[in-house]
Structure 1
């Protein structure tokens, strides 16, 4: 076998091997994502946890990305009918006994109700004339009214008693982050919902991410979206707050997406307060490379929700027809999304050649040298 034949055989073998190890990342639905190594915990193979969705014309009405019926976990989905304030230490009660001003307005009548009312002590009790010490902690005002009425009836015929709360000081919620006036805000007998708390805190700052509001309750975090409430009318996100809830509005600088693959410049992008569409993300990074990219393989990788049975959602846009880029402008990205543009088959082939050509050139020069020495 002469040197030329050897060179052809080696070249053919190198090309076949090179096609199996195309450099660079790409998305494949076939198995083989992980090296089989029993000593390294791998978890589920990636194809088993991936669900692929086509970005089609259905998203033009935004229903696929922002459904108006997107709910919240059942444990925080409470109705106003389930809410009733319970008195606790620090609250001030205003107790009125009609036709008995000596019981209704104690000494110092010029003071406000919050100052002259019945302070609930640290042990949860109050003192009231004729009634004595009453434990009111954890009771509703209607229950306190009935208790005082029953005890006063021993001394006053048919007493007409009313009980209200003059100052709410026991239960509070915490509003932090990107609001004008963060701090503690009292929970009152009027149900407080998410937008009420944000309003009490002065509203959002210009750097607030209104799509990323974190509610912490009993040590567990829930992500809510003011954008869904205001822009899409999703009132289920406007949850009823409970005592000791912490509402934190994240800064928009924390919300990023990542653009990788065959684009002008791979980078991370800040989403901005109004979010980011797929078209905007591609344009910010110089668009997809017309010579190197595969326009049918524009993917958005997204971690699936906790309720989903799979782990990763992949949205695929086929932009071989430029009109499909309208769909990209309707597809709204979410925080931590990964936009990936795959390489065209010819670009992959060129990469294979770039890897094997140095070796082939060395073989070619070696064969020429061998032939020259033989001659």
Structure 2
């Protein structure tokens, strides 16, 4: 019996359309959606906003975006520490000693500590002292206060010998927050307190600390400090003398991550550790490239461009056809949110297309043979 192709089409196409209406799984179509166009030039393509840089032995050094730190002194900090003097504030407790006059030094019958028996600096910045009454002390050093009290007591005592010290430092504090072992407030005292000192007093860095992006907030202004440069590289220029109200924050390293995708043996998200991470190290952490499917010339690092840049992203390409080129990858430091992508070889991409087509072709052939058998059955 002669086979009628038109008759076959009238059966196959409606069946295909019906199958499309009942395809399993979810689907999202944009055909009926209101698509908002933000691009002022709709004809521009993504490729026009991306720069591609080959990574070679001669060029890799110029792509070292992370700042290189070196050991260096901080003469400005040394001067501040040498000239440092604590200034009294409300809440501090002063201990005033008048030699040869114990009645002016320790109240009769008192066996309390110096901080308990001392002179409390009131909210208005003054203390009360016998004979001379109210003394303004806020904002002054102990040497200035000693001179003031001695001058006023000279009216009642002959050549008074005065000593003044701080029994308790309570007026000025700095705050250490974030990923340290003991976060909290630390008192500013007569001993200069630096960022490094404060971190050590707080028990050091916690396991998940991001020591490259520590912030110092002073008077509402934020400054970035790299504890990596300070502790690991000996860059003392990263250290600061802390003042009252300063906030030192050590963030978590949650943002220190890169994405390794494509034709690698174990694609996954990686966290940049405290020592940093190179491109070769990232490839090693995912088991290397897939030797059967990867295109060794297409190891890419996709990096979002700076906000000031006119383009969208930078792409860095490393050719590791010669495995010795992995040495170049050790010189390329990854940055947070970099995407390491290893592309597939051309033959692999073609085989994947064929693999997608084969089920459809096979199913169509089986359907055609079935229709022919039904047609020829009588």
Give the corresponding residue for 2:257.
Answer: 256
- Give the root-mean-square deviation of aligned CA atoms: 4.4
The answer for the alignment partner of 2:279 in structure 1 is 278
Partner in structure 2 of residue 152 of structure 1: 153
**Which one of the candidate residues 297, 300, 310 is aligned to 1:298?**
300
Q: By how many angstroms is 1:217 displaced?
A: 2.6
1:67 to 1:319, Cα distance in 2 relative to 1, 3 A: same
Alignment of 1:201-240 (within 5 A): 201-240=202-241
8 Å contact from structure 1 (residues 210, 273) kept in 2: yes
1:232/1:294 Cα in 2 relative to 1: closer, same or farther (>3 Å)? same
Structure 1 position 156, deviation (Å): 2.5
Match of 1:138 in 2: 139
What is the CA–CA distance in structure 2 between the aligned matches of 1:113 and 1:47, rounded to whole Å?
Answer: 74
Larger RCO, structure (CA 8 Å, separation 6 or more) = 1
Contact 1:93 1:120 (8 Å CA) reproduced: yes
1:368 is aligned to none
Q: Could you say which residue in structure 2 is the equivalent of 1:162? A: 163
Is the counterpart of residue 337 in structure 1 residue 338 in structure 2? yes
What is the Cα deviation at residue 266 of structure 1?
4.8
Contact 1:57-1:327 at 8 Å conserved across structures: no
8 Å contact kept, 2:71–2:233: no
- In the alignment, the residues of structure 1 paired with residue 131 and residue 313 of structure 2 have an alpha-carbon distance, to the nearest angstrom, of 68
Cα pair distance change 1:267/1:166, threshold 3 Å: same
Q: Give the Å deviation of 1:185.
A: 1.3
Residue 3 of structure 2: aligned partner: none
Q: Indicate if the aligned counterparts of 1:77 and 1:240 stay in contact, CA closer than 8 A.
A: no
Q: Residues of 2 paired with 1:314 and 1:159: CA distance?
A: 77
Kindly provide the CA deviation profile for residues 140-195 of structure 1, in whole angstroms up to 9, marking residues without a partner as x: 22222222222222223333322221111111112222222222211112111122
**Alpha-carbon deviation of 1:270?**
2.0
TM-score under structure 2 length normalisation = 0.66
CA distance in 2 between counterparts of 1:151 and 1:161 reads 11
Q: 1:144 to 1:268 in 2, by over 3 A?
A: same
Matched residue, 1:195? 196
For residues 1-375 of structure 1, what are the structure 2 equivalents within 5 Å? Answer: 37-38=39-40, 56=57, 65=66, 67-69=68-70, 79-81=80-82, 83-260=84-261, 263-264=264-265, 266-289=267-290, 291-293=293-295, 295=297, 298-299=300-301, 301=303, 317-341=318-342
Segment drifting more, 339-348 vs 281-290: 339-348
Counterparts in 2 of 1:53 and 1:203: CA distance versus 1, 3 Å: farther
Q: Cα deviation per residue 1:199-240 (whole Å; 9 max; x = unaligned)?
A: 212223333333343333333433333222222112222222
Q: Give secondary structure in 2 for the equivalent of 1:244.
A: coil
Any idea what SS the aligned residue of 1:208 has?
coil
Aligned to 1:12: none
CA deviation vs aligned residue, 1:221-263 (integer Å, no higher than 9, x gap): 3333322222211222222222122223233444212234554
Measured against aligned partners, the alpha-carbon deviations of 1:104-124 in whole angstroms (never above 9, x if no partner) come to 333355322111111111222
> Cα–Cα, structure 1 residues 198 and 58, in superposed 2: closer, same or farther, change >3 Å?
farther
**Kept in 1: contact 2:70–2:229 (CA 8 A):** no
Normalising by structure 1, report the TM-score.
0.66
Structure 2 CA distance for partners of 1:282 and 1:244, relative to 1, 3 Å:
same
CA spacing shift, 1:39–1:162, aligned 2, 3 Å: farther
| Cα separation, partners in 2 of 1:317 and 1:145, compared to 1, 3 Å | farther
Query: Number of paired residues?
Result: 316
Q: How much has 1:126 moved relative to structure 2?
A: 0.7
Runs of 5+ unmatched residues, structure 1: 1-34, 362-375
Aligned pair in 2 of structure 1 residues 143, 296: CA closer, same or farther (>3 Å)? farther
Q: 8 Å contact 1:296–1:320 — kept in the other structure?
A: no
